[in-house]
Structure 1
């Protein structure tokens, strides 16, 4: 089993002190940005390549992401501008005749950190109630206090 398919821990800390723990996919490291959400049921590849998400950590509200993989025809721009990507569950084995690679590999190659396995409904509810917040998404620093401090600065 490749490293991308192992249970790598990751955390998302918000500037209000809330921390979500889950499993990493995509790249490793740390990413900072405004935490936002998207309610689309499909089109995650277009969202990933949409320049309007530049510098943001995007949370998908639909519970399963990655089921049709990634292909060159569905890109909105030549690169990924977002900082991080969050979903409830990542489909690691896409099923679509147009798919050229799984989402995990696509994000890894683009240097984007992904987080799965958190309660995205609770995260979106928090953003809706309290407004936009800065967050830090990390696979390297997993200390809650340290991550919250980074998110607040």
Structure 2
């Protein structure tokens, strides 16, 4: 079930769309990804920790989400930006759609966004600080302020956030 949502960038740019997943605020560095497939692998890739991913491919959600294609145990993307969200996947391996997966993983996405325009902004200015927020929680100006408040990725120990919390030994046969 979608809800009114806003994407705000630190440069003052705003985009109004529809939110999916958890009704929460996400703040991070916004980047774009030009892959034409593999959105499930991308959002679960730990290298995207603290980043909001803009998908340049116009249709995301076609194949749904399954339990076999994750790159890790969690969704590490702080949020996603989508042009056209496909809520009814058409794939024999699909177990749930993005909305259900995002809700279950306390993640948020926004769709109905002109991702071409957004990608041009990011290509010209580089990655920016951004905020995705349900409109009932923040207006345009407060969302921009939240985006600006993000400290950025420089100096963050992201490896600590994405690696295992427990020590273990590994050998060729499996866990020691």
- Give the TM-score band, short-chain normalised: over 0.9
1:107-146 superposed matches below 5 A: 107-139=102-134, 140-146=136-142
Task: Calculate the TM-score normalised by the size of structure 1.
Answer: 0.94
Structure 2 residue 176 is matched with structure 1 residue 148: no
Unpaired runs of 5+ in structure 1? none
Q: Which has the bigger relative contact order, CA under 8 A and spacing at least 6?
A: 1
Structure holding more helix per residue:
1
Contact 1:54 1:82 in 2 (8 A): yes
2:17 to 13, 17, 22: 22
Q: Structure 2: which 5+ residue stretches go unaligned?
A: 150-176
1:8-47 deviations in Å (ceiling 9; x for gaps) = 1000100000001001111111010000110011100000
TM-score normalised per structure 2 = 0.82
Q: Stretches of 4+ moved more than 3 A in 1?
A: none
How many equivalent residue pairs? 148
The structure with the largest alpha-carbon Rg is 2
Q: Cα RMSD between the aligned structures?
A: 0.9
